[in-house]
C-alpha cells in the first residue's frame, strides 16, 4: 500500500478480516484534538495545559463552544493563543458541535475529548499507537479513569441487546484496567480517536441526538460498515464524571436509545428482539414513574414517534451500506445488565438467567459466531 492510501471496506487485514478505512501509519502525521465546551471555564483551565504538552509539531486543538455564559472562551484565550475556537451562537448540543469541530479540523487523526478529561503523560504518542502494527480498527478510545487515576470510568462501552448502554467497569479499581490493547463493543466519546476521513465517510454523530448515545450510534455504524473498535489503555485520560446530570438526561438517553436501534439494528435482529423490547419498555415505564422521571420517559416516547419518518429514511441509507450479518453484529452485544447504574435488575439472578437463555436463542437463530462454538 502506498503512503497516504486507505484500506477501504473489502480489503483484508493479516487475519483475513475485512477492514473499514484503516489508514497507513506513515500517512497519518497530524492530530486534531476536538473539545466541546459549555460553561466549562474551570474544566478547560485544568485540561488544556496537559493536552497542549502532548501535541507534536503540526498538531492542533479545536474548541467548539456551545454559547457558554461563564467566560469559557475568554478564559481559553487568556490561557493560550494557539487553540482554534469555534463559537456557536446557541447550544446545538454535543453531537452537532463535534461534527463542526471535525469539519474545521485539518489533521489526519481526530481525537474527541471531553472538556473535563485530563490527558496523562504519554497520551499523545499512545493515542496514535494503533496506526502502527495492524490492529485493523476503524476507531478506538483511550482508557478513561476517574478519581485521579485510582478508578476506572470506562474501559470500553458495553451495550445490552435492548440498546441500554453503559461505561464498562465504571467504578472498578484501576488494577482491573486492561493491560493491553483489545476490542471493545463501542468507543466512548469522552476520548474517541478516529481517522478524519473515516469520520466523514461514516457521517459523524447524528446531530438530532443533541447529547448522549451518539458515540454508541457512531460505533454501531462503523461496525455495520465492516469496522472494528478498540481500546489503547496506554492512552489515559482522567475524567471528572458524574452520572446524575438532571432529569432531562433520561429523555435524551431513552429517545436516543430507540433512535440508535431503529437506525442501526439489522432487521433480523429487531424481529427476534420484539418481545424483549416491548417488555423492556413496560419495565422502564414503571421504573420511570416510581423514580420520578415518568414525564421524561413520556417526552422521549413522543420524540421517537415524531422522528420515525426521518429515522426510517436514515435507516435505509445506513443498512444499504451494511457489510456484516446480523449474527456478527449481535455478537458484540450482551445479555447481562451488569452496569452499576441500573440498580436491582443488575443483581437479580433469575432475570440474568432468563435474559441469557433468551439471548443464546437469538444468537443461535442469527448464526452468530459465539453461538457456533
Mean pLDDT, residues 325-339:
93
Alpha-helical (H) ranges within the chain are: 41-53, 72-79, 94-104, 123-128, 196-202, 214-224, 248-264, 267-291, 294-319, 326-330, 349-366
The average pLDDT across 140-163 equals 96
222, 239, 256 — which closes off a domain? 239
Q: Are 225 and 9 in contact (CB under 8 A)?
A: yes
Q: For residue 246, is it within any domain? A: no
What percent of the chain clears pLDDT 90, i.e. is strictly above it? 82
Residues 6+ apart with CB under 8 A from 258: 163, 300, 304
The vertex-300 CA angle with 162 and 265, nearest 5°, equals 30
Do 35 and 165 lie in one domain? The reply is yes
Question: pTM above the 0.75 mark?
Answer: yes
Q: Does 120 share its domain with 213?
A: yes
Would residue 116 count as lying in a domain?
Answer: yes
Exposure of 263 in the CB half-sphere (CA atoms within 13 A): 28
Name the region of 50 (left: φ>0; alpha: ψ -120 to 50; beta: rest).
alpha
pLDDT on residue 33: 98
Contacts of range 82-87, beta carbons closer than 8 Å, 24 or more positions apart = 82/52, 83/48, 83/52, 84/60, 86/62
- Round the average pLDDT of the chain to a whole number and report it: 90
Domain residues for the domain of 172 are 6-239
Report the pLDDT value the prediction gives residue 15, as an integer from 0 to 100: 41
Task: Say what the pLDDT of residue 338 is.
Answer: 80
Do 220 and 309 lie in a common domain? Answer: no
Alpha-carbon distance of 111 to 301, in angstroms, equals 33
Q: Which residues pair with 334 in a beta bridge?
A: 160
Q: Predicted confidence band at 350 (pLDDT cuts at 50, 70, 90)?
A: confident
Q: Show Cβ contacts of residue 354 under 8 Å, excluding neighbours closer than 6 positions.
A: none
Q: What is the mean pLDDT of residues 335-353?
A: 78
In the predicted structure, residue 66 carries a pLDDT above the cut 90: yes
Would you place residue 132 in the very low, low, confident or very high pLDDT band (cuts 50, 70, 90)?
Answer: low
In the prediction, which pLDDT does 126 show?
95
CATH number at residue 83: 3.90.550.10
In a shared domain, residues 47 and 169:
yes
pLDDT band at residue 14 using 50, 70 and 90 as cut-offs: very low
pLDDT at 100 (0 to 100): 98
Taking only the tens place, the pLDDT of each residue in 110-124 is: 999 999 999 999 999
pLDDT at position 185 is: 97
Whether 295 and 180 map to the same domain: the answer is: no
338 is a domain residue: yes
Domain co-membership, 198 together with 309: no
Q: Cα separation of 152 and 170, whole Å?
A: 5
Instruction: Give the total number of structural domains in the chain.
Output: 2
At residue 10, the pLDDT reads 44
* Pair (127, 271) in one structural domain: no
Quote the CA–CA distance of 85 and 63 in Å, as a whole number. 5
Q: Which three cell numbers stand for residue 361?
A: 436463542
Residues 112, 62 within the same domain = yes
Cell numbers 446545538 label which residue?
92
- Of 296 and 350, the structure prediction assigns the larger pLDDT to 296
pLDDT in tens, 214-226: 999 999 999 999 9
Q: pLDDT > 70: what percent of the chain?
A: 87
Is the model's pLDDT at 201 over the cut of 90?
Answer: yes
- Is residue 144, in this structure, part of any structural domain at all? yes
Amino acid at each position: 500500500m502506498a503512503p497516504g492510501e486507505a484500506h477501504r471496506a473489502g480489503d483484508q487485514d493479516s487475519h483475513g478480516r475485512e477492514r473499514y478505512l484503516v489508514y497507513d501509519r506513515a500517512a497519518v502525521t497530524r492530530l486534531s484534538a476536538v473539545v466541546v465546551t459549555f460553561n466549562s471555564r474551570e474544566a478547560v483551565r485544568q485540561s488544556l495545559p496537559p493536552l497542549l504538552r502532548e501535541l507534536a509539531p503540526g498538531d492542533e486543538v479545536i474548541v467548539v463552544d456551545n454559547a457558554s455564559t461563564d467566560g469559557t472562551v475568554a478564559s481559553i484565550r487568556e490561557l493560550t493563543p494557539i487553540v482554534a475556537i469555534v463559537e456557536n451562537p446557541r447550544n446545538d448540543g454535543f453531537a452537532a458541535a463535534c461534527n463542526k469541530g471535525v469539519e474545521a479540523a485539518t489533521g489526519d487523526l481526530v481525537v474527541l475529548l471531553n472538556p473535563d478529561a485530563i490527558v496523562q503523560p504519554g497520551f499523545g504518542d499512545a493515542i496514535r499507537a494503533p496506526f502502527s502494527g495492524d490492529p485493523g480498527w476503524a476507531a478506538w478510545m483511550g482508557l478513561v479513569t476517574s478519581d485521579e487515576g485510582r478508578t476506572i470510568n470506562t474501559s470500553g462501552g458495553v451495550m445490552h441487546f435492548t440498546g441500554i448502554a453503559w461505561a464498562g467497569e465504571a467504578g472498578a479499581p484501576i488494577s482491573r484496567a486492561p493491560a493491553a490493547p483489545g476490542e471493545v463493543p463501542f468507543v466512548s466519546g469522552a476520548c474517541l480517536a478516529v481517522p478524519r476521513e473515516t469520520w466523514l465517510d461514516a457521517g459523524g454523530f447524528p446531530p438530532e441526538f443533541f447529547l448522549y448515545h451518539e458515540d454508541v450510534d457512531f460505533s454501531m455504524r462503523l461496525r455495520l460498515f465492516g469496522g472494528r473498535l478498540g481500546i489503547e489503555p496506554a492512552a489515559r485520560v482522567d475524567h471528572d464524571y458524574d452520572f446524575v446530570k438532571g432529569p432531562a438526561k433520561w429523555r435524551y438517553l431513552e429517545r436516543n436509545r430507540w433512535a440508535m436501534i431503529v437506525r442501526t439494528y439489522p432487521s433480523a435482529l429487531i424481529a427476534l428482539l420484539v418481545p424483549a423490547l416491548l417488555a423492556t419498555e413496560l419495565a422502564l415505564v414503571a421504573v420511570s414513574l416510581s423514580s420520578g422521571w415518568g414525564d421524561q420517559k413520556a417526552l422521549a416516547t413522543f420524540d421517537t414517534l415524531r422522528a420515525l419518518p426521518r429515522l426510517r429514511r436514515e435507516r435505509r441509507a445506513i443498512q444499504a451500506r451494511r457489510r456484516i450479518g446480523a449474527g456478527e453484529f449481535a455478537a458484540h452485544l450482551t445479555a447481562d445488565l451488569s452496569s452499576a447504574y441500573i440498580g436491582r435488575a443488575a443483581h437479580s439472578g433469575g432475570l440474568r438467567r432468563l435474559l441469557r437463555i433468551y439471548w443464546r436463542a437469538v444468537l443461535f437463530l442469527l448464526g452468530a459466531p459465539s453461538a457456533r462454538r
